[in-house]
Amino acid sequence: MKIHLSDDGVPLYQQVVQQIRHRILSGQLSGGDEMPAIRTLAEQLRVNPNTIARAYRELEQAGLVEKRRTRGTFVSSSPTSMSAKGKREAIEPAIDQLLVLSQGLGVDAKELSQWILRRDEELQRKRGETS
């Protein structure tokens, strides 16, 4: 598994969590996919195995991966089983980027909310047409 670690001040385990979360939510990793063993990934990234163990624990608490005794760690079958906290943590970075962009353009949060709701309705209609 390709994970890029940087020394930008973000703890290593959080970088691992963010990148794996992104891969799961974007569909690059699918439900049932086996995750690399903790030691294997730690060796590949040249980090302490505790770093990877902590990242996997956070991903498990968020409902993104599940441990299967003696078999390993696997991507959960459905991200909808994520905890509310896990969902919020997955979405907040995108919201932050959107808010920075909208504030830079002079769009207030109320107007942005209306645009988001309108866009959601459009996407729901499109999904209904293709189903």
Give the tens place of pLDDT for each residue, 52-89: 999 999 999 888 999 998 899 999 987 666 677 777 87
Q: Assign residue 14 a region (left: φ > 0; alpha: ψ between -120 and 50; beta: otherwise).
A: alpha
Q: CA-based angle 130:126:75, to the nearest 5?
A: 75
Q: What is the pLDDT of residue 127?
A: 79
Show me where the domains of the chain are located.
12-81, 84-130
The residue with greater pLDDT, 38 or 96, is 38
When the pLDDT of each residue in the chain is averaged and rounded to a whole number, the result is: 89
The residue type at 51: T
Half-sphere CA count of 55, side-chain side, radius 13 A: 27
CATH topology of domain 12-81: Arc Repressor Mutant, subunit A (1.10.10)
- Which residues lie closer than 8 Å to 12 by C-beta, 6 or more apart? 5, 45, 47, 51
pTM score above 0.85: no
Confidence of residue 130 (pLDDT cuts 50, 70, 90): low
